[in-house]
């Protein structure tokens, strides 16, 4: 079933529909029969121990990883090998990486205008205006003519967020956005993400930052060994985890937080 | 809304397609996309067109072993005449070295190759390696030239593989200290020393080896007083040493740059002199980092020794060339002779380049911070 | 005073200077004496004397009655021709092989790596001998030349090919080609400006091809559309007419190109691999097509890593062209060698030779430094 219908923005309430998703890396099964439904405007935090498949899950959503079994439908378009579907999905889904992945040979402004010009066929003036708007939104507009290597890690990640936003996505994916940052820069990035959440963006965020989860998430999903073990509201999940594995995980993570005061 | 799974162990299932086995390997590596499949088919077609006749000529219909000329003439055009290698082997290996004394150059080949192998083993990376090299070089020289119990053999009679090894190994051996001095000189703060080093390095690296060899063979005679006669081989050797030193200097320079400045400063703070700092702290680290480019310089040098053909010195390449050129009946099998020499060179160079790549990976692994 | 560092520094430098000057003086006086004894002249006047030897291949007019100086220029022209063509062929072949090595197709990638590992580890001189041997010994004699119709004949004497006869239209075609290329660039910049202004993209590839092919075609048609072709015809012991690629030239160019291509392949591969995987992923996530990814993100970053070692390979190729003397192609070294043997003035000849190569090396290095500075990734 190849759904090549154009993205129906705003009409369907379901942003992402995942059914029976399984993915293998060679013989190793990274995702086991995952089911997930994300509604528009929902903010989801995915957590779990390393190797649990959380990054793999969100990378499947914009087809950075292909899946072998199950269905992924993003805004009404099913993700298959069909290149047109993939490109349609990618234009509508923004991604922020752990390692920022800014283009070092382009200025901050050029990083943000590259895709709008070449994919959405905007003119330079239009793209520049959009870019400056979003750079202001992440509070980094004055760095526009600089090159990525001239910025700190926190600044680079905020540029990465602006770059993704310049494509006007309806869904934003965050793959451990603060894990590569020095502690003092984590806050500025989380604040930016908080802003985004308050404006109603559909977000799926893989992170260890539990404070962020508590403040922003509508739903916390705990994954372990390739499957969704538990999902609940943050309050319910943090105060009353149901499964053993969740309890263990929270024990380790929150211990760390409590030690740090 | 709570949503949990039971805490029983998760069940893993096998991936849907056959992800193991030869069929899936073929699909993934050769036929994954239409373009790929097309490329594979085209390549296989070309291979099928070239390989069977080539194998025929090279192996199946070829004449192996010490066969007479007639056997080769019989398969001319259809099979290679490898018998030419057997026929000319001694000449290709040893040139015009006296026949009954050829055990000496054979021994020298063994000594020099062992020198290379030993230098590759980490355990020997210590100052005593220089002593081992000195012993190896002196021993080889004695065996080749004679005196002290062995019948003397003039350098004009040296030839073949030992000459190639001598030119390259003596070359890099003597060029090494010179190269280090040049590298240090290039980083010196003293203007005269630095300019001298820079000019030397840039000039030598900017000209082809052939011109340096020409200079050696033709101009050295003019540079020295009449009574002093330097034989051809020595001239070529000196030219090669002076040439390689410039390239080694650049290789070592990279290593010197990689040693953190803080170490030199700490040593200076401790009151150590320049040469002590160089000897004990900077050079050991710098040289270790520079080993891959130094090995690459040696591989290039080994290939470049073939250029002494131009000034008529009997190295391995020249010996091979002469072995078929001068013998009218075997002359037409020069291709087989060249291919043989190519194989020998290739074995040496490939082994060294594999070693160099392995070494680079090994050093990178051990210096991960 | 001996302990003063400044004094010691001066002392070392003075010592080195004294040593260099001393040795230099010693060599110089020996040379003077030897030159006198052997009655060899000095100075560069020999350059204006008659050369007295023929040069088989030349890019400029030359006869044996011309001067040594002119012979030198002929050699230089040949060197530059071989180096120029060699660089172009080596870059094309090397880039293909380098990309093939990265191909997901196992067969292609293995063949490419075998090519690199074989060509890199065999001395260039031997490769030239083999190519030259193939072209002179294995190819048939002129009478039994391999013929492709009547426009290409391959024999021991080289590759004899048909070429359009002399006609003014052909120089017009040459100009047309340059004009076509210039117009193609113009179109490209026009399209880019429009894209920046409005966001719409005009096609660039097809119009460029059309211009580069069409304008010369137009020039040809307008100037009389000559169709006469100078065909090689066997007369007596050799072909007459047409143009020829000598076995020496062919062996040299093919040998140099295939050898250097192996090194260039490694340079290209390293450059492409140096681009972080994350860059590709980020550009994929933004929705760029594979072609756009390659053009806008991968290649700009790869080129920065590729250009410096690539220029170094170009330098090596130019220096390696000196091996032509071993197979008898009359480039700079070969001509200088003959001159040296005839006049006995080795010092001047070799000095001139080294000066020319040095000039070429410095020019290429200067270019590389300029390019490097221009595209350096701005660091903090």
The Cα B101–Cα B95 span in angstroms is: 12
Question: Between C27, C129, C350, which is nearest B214 by CB?
Answer: C350
Q: How does pLDDT run along chain C (380 residues), one tens digit per residue?
A: 566 778 888 888 888 888 888 888 888 888 888 888 777 777 777 788 887 788 877 777 777 778 888 888 888 999 999 999 999 999 999 999 998 898 888 888 999 999 999 999 999 999 999 899 888 877 888 777 788 877 788 888 888 888 887 777 788 888 888 888 888 888 888 888 888 888 787 888 888 888 888 888 888 888 877 778 888 887 777 777 778 888 899 999 999 999 999 999 999 998 888 888 899 999 999 999 888 888 899 888 888 888 888 888 999 999 999 999 888 898 899 888 888 888 878 888 888 999 999 999 888 888 888 887 877 765 54
Look at residue A6 in the predicted model and tell me its pLDDT: 41
| Start-to-end C-alpha separation, chain B | 47
The Cα-based distances of A193 to A109, A142, A246, C336 in angstroms read 20, 20, 25, 73
For the range B175-181, what are the long-range contacts, defined as Cβ-Cβ under 8 Å and sequence gap of 24 or more?
B175/B240, B175/B241, B175/B242, B175/B243, B175/B244, B175/B245, B175/B248, B176/B248, B178/B241, B178/B242, B178/B245, B178/B248, B179/B244, B179/B245, B179/B246, B179/B247, B179/B248, B179/B249, B179/B251, B179/B252, B180/B248, B180/B249, B180/B252, B180/B283
pLDDT value for C379: 52
- The CA distance from C298 to the nearest CA of chain A, in Å, is 10
| Residue C198 touches chain A, beta carbons under 8 Å | yes
Residue C294, both tokens: 């390659």
Give the whole-angstrom CA distance, residue C271 versus residue A236.
51
Flag if B5 and A227 touch (Cβ within 8 Å).
yes
The pair phi, psi for residue A173, each rounded to 5°, is -110, 135
Is the minimum CB–CB distance between B21 and chain A shorter than 8 Å?
no
Residue window 73-102, chain A: list those with CB within 8 Å of chain C: 87, 90-91, 93-95, 97, 99, 101-102
Alpha carbon B92 to its chain's center: 19
φ/ψ of A39, rounded to 5, equals -90, 160
Q: Which C residues 228-247 touch B at CB under 8 Å? A: none
Q: Give the fold, CATH level 3, of B83-97+153-364.
A: MetI-like fold (1.10.3720)
Judged by CB atoms closer than 8 Å, whether chains meet at A24 and B1 is answered as no
> Which string of DSSP letters, residue by residue, matches C14-55?
HHHHHHHHHHHHHHHHHHHHHHHHTT---SSGGGGSB-----
Would the pLDDT of A7 be above 60?
Answer: no
Q: What is the 3-state secondary structure (H, E, C) of B92-136?
A: HHHCCCCHHHCHHHHHHHHHHHHHHHHHHCHHHCCCHHHHHHHHH
Q: Using alpha carbons only, what angle is made at residue C299 by residues C298 and C301, rounded to the nearest 5 degrees?
A: 70
Distance CA C161, CA B24 (A): 49
**H-type alpha helices, chain C:** 5-37, 68-101, 106-120, 124-133, 168-198, 205-222, 247-273, 277-285, 290-293, 299-320, 332-343, 346-375
Q: CA-CA distances (angstroms) from residue B188 to B195, B198, B204, C9?
A: 9, 10, 19, 10
**Tokens at C298, concatenated:** 């991968």
Model pLDDT for residues C134-145, shown as the tens digit of each residue: 888 778 887 777
In contact, B333 and B325? CB cutoff 8 Å: no
| Domain spans of chain B, in order of start | 83-97+153-364
Pairing of strands C243-245, C238-240: unpaired
Nearest C-alpha of chain C: how many angstroms from A56? Answer: 13
Q: Which residue of B lies nearest to A32 if distances are taken between CA atoms?
A: B12
Q: Does A124 touch chain C (CB under 8 A)?
A: yes
Do A12 and A77 contact (CB within 8 A), yes or no? no
- Beta strand A202-206 with A171-175 is parallel
From residue B345, how far is each of B313, B351, B356, C120 by CA, in Å? 17, 10, 16, 11
- Considering only CB atoms, which chain C residues are within 8 Å of B303? 121-124
| Residue C34, CA distances (Å) to B228, C23, C38, C45 in order | 12, 16, 6, 20
Report the pLDDT value the prediction gives residue A9, as an integer from 0 to 100: 46
Question: Which residues does B67 contact at the CB level (< 8 Å), separation at least 6?
Answer: B83, B86
Q: Cβ contact (<8 Å) for C196 and A114?
A: no
Pairing mode, if any, of strands C146-148 and B3-4? unpaired
B10 touches chain A (CB under 8 A): yes
Tens digit of pLDDT for each residue in A103-147?
Answer: 988 899 999 999 898 888 888 899 999 999 999 999 999 999 999
- CA nearest to B354 within chain C: C117
Q: Which of B299, B334, B350 shows the shortest C-beta gap to C117?
A: B350
Q: And the tokens for A215?
A: 């403040």
Q: Is the Cβ of A65 closer than 8 Å to some Cβ of chain B?
A: no
Which of C124-155 are b and which e, b meaning 16 or more Cβ less than 10 Å from the residue's Cβ? bbbbbbbbbbebbeebeebeebeeeeeeebbb
- Over residues A70-86, the pLDDT tens digits come to 999 999 899 988 888 88
pLDDT in tens, chain B (369 residues): 444 444 445 566 776 665 556 777 777 777 777 777 888 888 899 999 989 888 888 888 888 888 888 888 888 778 888 888 888 888 889 888 888 888 888 999 999 999 989 888 888 888 888 899 999 999 999 998 887 888 888 888 888 899 999 999 999 999 999 999 999 999 888 888 899 999 999 999 999 999 999 888 887 777 777 777 778 888 899 999 999 999 999 999 888 888 888 888 888 888 888 888 888 888 888 888 888 889 889 999 999 999 998 888 888 998 998 888 888 888 888 888 999 999 999 999 999 999 988 888 887 777 654
C-alpha span between C223 and C226 (Å, rounded): 8
Q: Contact at 8 Å (CB) between C49 and C349?
A: no
Cβ proximity of A25 and A58 under 8 Å:
no
Q: Tell me the two tokens of residue A74.
A: 């993003």
Task: State how beta strands A219-224 and A43-47 pair.
Answer: parallel
C-alpha B155/C-alpha B153 separation (Å) is 7
- Decide if A168 touches C, using CB distance below 8 A: no
Contacts with B36 from chain C: Cβ below 8 Å: 104-105
Write down the pLDDT at residue A8: 41
Q: Are C314 and C322 in contact (CB under 8 A)?
A: no
Which pLDDT value is given to residue A12? 56
What average pLDDT does the structure give for chain A?
88
Q: Distance between CA atoms of A203 and A79, rounded to whole angstroms? A: 19
Contact at CB, A231 and B3, closer than 8 angstroms: yes
SS3 state at B176: helix
**What pLDDT sits at residue C234?**
79
ipTM confidence: 0.85
Question: Are the C-beta atoms of residues B131 and B194 closer than 8 Å to each other?
Answer: no
């Amino acid at each position: 079933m190849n759904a090549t219908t154009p993205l129906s923005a705003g009409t369907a309430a379901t942003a992402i529909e995942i059914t029976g998703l399984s993915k293998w890396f060679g013989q190793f099964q990274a995702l086991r029969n995952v089911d997930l439904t994300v509604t528009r405007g929902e903010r989801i935090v995915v957590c779990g121990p390393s190797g649990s498949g959380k990054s793999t899950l969100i990378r499947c959503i914009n087809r950075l990883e292909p899946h072998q079994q199950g269905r992924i439908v993003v805004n009404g378009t099913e993700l298959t090998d069909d290149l047109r579907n993939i490109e349609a999905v990618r234009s509508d889904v923004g991604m922020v990486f752990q390692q920022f992945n800014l283009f070092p040979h382009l200025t901050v402004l050029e990083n943000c205008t590259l895709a709008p010009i070449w994919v959405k066929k905007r003119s330079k003036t239009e793209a520049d205006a959009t870019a400056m708007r979003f750079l202001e939104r992440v509070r980094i507009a004055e760095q526009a003519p600089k090159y990525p290597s001239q910025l700190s890690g926190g600044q680079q990640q905020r540029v990465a967020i602006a770059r993704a936003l310049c494509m006007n996505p309806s869904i934003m994916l965050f793959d451990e956005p603060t894990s590569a940052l020095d502690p003092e820069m984590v806050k500025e990035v989380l604040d930016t993400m908080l802003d985004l959440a308050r404006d109603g963006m559909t977000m799926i965020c893989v992170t260890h930052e539990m404070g962020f989860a508590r403040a922003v998430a509508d739903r916390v999903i705990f994954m372990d060994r390739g499957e969704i073990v538990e999902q609940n509201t943050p309050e319910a999940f943090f105060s009353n985890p149901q499964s053993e594995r969740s309890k263990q995980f929270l024990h380790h993570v929150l211990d760390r937080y409590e030690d740090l005061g | 809304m709570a949503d949990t799974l039971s805490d029983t162990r998760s069940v893993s299932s096998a991936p849907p397609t056959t992800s193991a086995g030869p069929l899936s390997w073929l699909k993934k590596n050769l036929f994954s996309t239409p373009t790929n499949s097309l490329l594979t088919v085209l390549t296989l077609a070309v291979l099928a067109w070239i390989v069977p006749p080539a194998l025929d000529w090279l192996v199946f219909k070829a004449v192996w072993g010490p066969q007479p000329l007639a056997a080769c003439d019989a398969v001319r055009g259809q099979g290679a005449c490898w018998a030419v290698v057997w026929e000319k082997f001694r000449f290709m290996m040893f040139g015009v070295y006296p026949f009954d004394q050829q055990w000496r150059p054979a021994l020298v080949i063994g000594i020099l190759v062992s020198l290379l192998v030993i230098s590759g083993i980490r355990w020997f990376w210590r100052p005593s390696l220089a002593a081992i090299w000195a012993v190896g070089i002196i021993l080889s020289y004695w065996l080749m030239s004679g005196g002290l119990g062995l019948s003397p053999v003039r350098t004009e009679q040296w030839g073949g593989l030992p000459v190639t090894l001598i030119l390259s190994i003596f070359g890099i051996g003597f060029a090494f200290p010179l190269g280090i001095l040049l590298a240090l000189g290039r980083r010196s703060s003293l203007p005269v020393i630095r300019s001298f080093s820079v000019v030397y390095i840039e000039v030598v690296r900017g000209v082809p080896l052939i011109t340096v060899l020409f200079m050696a063979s033709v101009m050295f005679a003019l540079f020295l007083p009449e009574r002093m006669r330097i034989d051809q081989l020595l001239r070529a050797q000196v030219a090669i040493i002076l040439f390689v030193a410039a390239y080694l200097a650049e290789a070592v320079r990279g290593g010197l740059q990689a040693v953190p400045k803080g170490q030199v400063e700490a040593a200076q703070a401790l009151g150590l002199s320049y040469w002590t700092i160089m000897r004990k702290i900077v050079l050991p680290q710098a040289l270790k980092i520079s080993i891959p480019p130094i090995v690459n310089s040696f591989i290039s040098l080994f290939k470049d020794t073939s250029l002494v053909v131009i000034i008529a010195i009997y190295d391995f390449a020249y010996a091979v060339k002469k072995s078929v050129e001068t013998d009218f009946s075997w002359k037409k099998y020069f291709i087989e002779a060249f291919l043989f020499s190519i194989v020998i060179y290739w074995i040496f160079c490939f082994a060294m380049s594999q070693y160099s790549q392995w070494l680079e990976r090994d050093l990178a692994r051990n210096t991960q911070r | 005073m001996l302990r003063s560092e400044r004094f010691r520094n001066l002392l070392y430098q003075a010592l080195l200077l004294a040593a260099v000057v001393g040795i230099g003086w010693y060599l110089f006086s020996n040379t003077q004496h030897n030159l006198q004894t052997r009655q060899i002249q000095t100075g560069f006047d020999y350059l204006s004397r008659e050369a007295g030897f023929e040069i088989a291949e030349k890019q400029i007019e030359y006869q044996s009655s011309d001067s040594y100086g002119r012979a030198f220029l002929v050699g230089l022209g040949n060197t530059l021709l071989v180096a120029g063509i060699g660089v172009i062929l080596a870059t094309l072949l090397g880039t293909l092989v380098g990309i093939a090595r990265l191909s997901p197709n196992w067969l292609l990638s293995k063949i490419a790596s075998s090519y690199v590992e074989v060509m890199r580890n065999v001395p260039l001189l031997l490769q030239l001998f083999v190519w030259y041997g193939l072209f002179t010994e294995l190819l048939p004699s002129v009478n039994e030349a391999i013929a492709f119709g009547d426009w290409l004949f391959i024999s021991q004497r080289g590759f004899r090919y048909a070429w359009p006869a002399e006609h003014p239209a052909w120089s017009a075609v040459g100009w047309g080609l340059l004009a076509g290329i210039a117009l193609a660039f113009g179109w490209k910049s026009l399209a880019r400006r429009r894209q920046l202004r409005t966001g719409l993209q005009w096609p660039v590839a097809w119009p460029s091809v059309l211009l580069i092919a069409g304008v010369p075609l137009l020039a040809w048609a307008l100037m009389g559309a000559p169709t006469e072709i100078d065909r090689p015809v066997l007369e007596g012991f050799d072909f007459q007419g047409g143009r020829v690629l000598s076995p020496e030239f062919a062996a040299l160019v093919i040998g140099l190109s295939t050898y250097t291509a192996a090194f260039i392949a490694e340079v290209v591969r390293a450059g492409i691999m140096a681009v972080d995987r994350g860059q590709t992923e980020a550009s994929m996530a933004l929705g760029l097509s594979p072609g756009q990814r390659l053009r806008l993100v991968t290649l700009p970053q790869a080129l920065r890593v590729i250009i410096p070692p690539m220029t170094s390979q170009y330098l090596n190729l130019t220096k390696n062209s000196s091996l032509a003397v071993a197979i008898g192609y009359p480039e700079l070294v070969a001509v200088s060698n003959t001159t040296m043997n005839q006049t006995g003035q080795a010092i001047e000849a070799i000095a001139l030779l080294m000066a020319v190569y040095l000039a070429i090396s410095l020019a290429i290095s200067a270019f590389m430094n300029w390019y490097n500075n221009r595209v350096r990734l701005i660091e903090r």
